[in-house]
Amino acid sequence: MVLISFGGPLEEAIRVFETEYRSYSYLMKVNHDDTEDIDMVIRYYYLKPGFVRMEMVKPFRGALLTYDPETGRAYLRPFRRLRGFVLDLDPGSRLIRGPSNHRVDESDVLTLLYTVRDLLSKGSQRVEEKEGTVLIEVVGEEGHKVRGNIARFVIKLSKETLFPTYAASFDEDGDLIEEVFFEEVVINPDLSPEFFRIKRR
Sheet hosting strand 152-158, strand order edge to edge:
2-4, 123-130, 133-140, 152-158, 164-170, 176-187, 23-31, 40-47, 51-58, 64-68, 73-77, 87-89
pLDDT, averaged across the chain: 91
Between 97 and 172, where is the model more confident?
172
- pTM flag (> 0.75): yes
* pLDDT band per the 50, 70, 90 thresholds, residue 68: very high
Nearest to 68 by CA among 94, 44, 91: 91
180-191 pLDDT tens trace: 999 999 999 999
Q: Which amino acid is at 191?
A: L
Q: Which CATH class is domain 2-196?
A: mainly beta
For 61, 80, 168, the CA distances from 57, given in Å and listed in that order, are: 4, 11, 21
What are 152-172's pLDDT values in tens digits?
999 999 999 999 999 999 999
For 118, list phi and psi in degrees, rounded to 5.
Answer: -60, -40
Sorted by where each begins, the domain ranges of the chain are 2-196
Q: Which residues lie closer than 8 Å to 72 by C-beta, 6 or more apart?
A: 91, 105
- Count of residues in the chain: 201
| Listed residue (3, 2, 5) closest to 141, CA to CA | 5
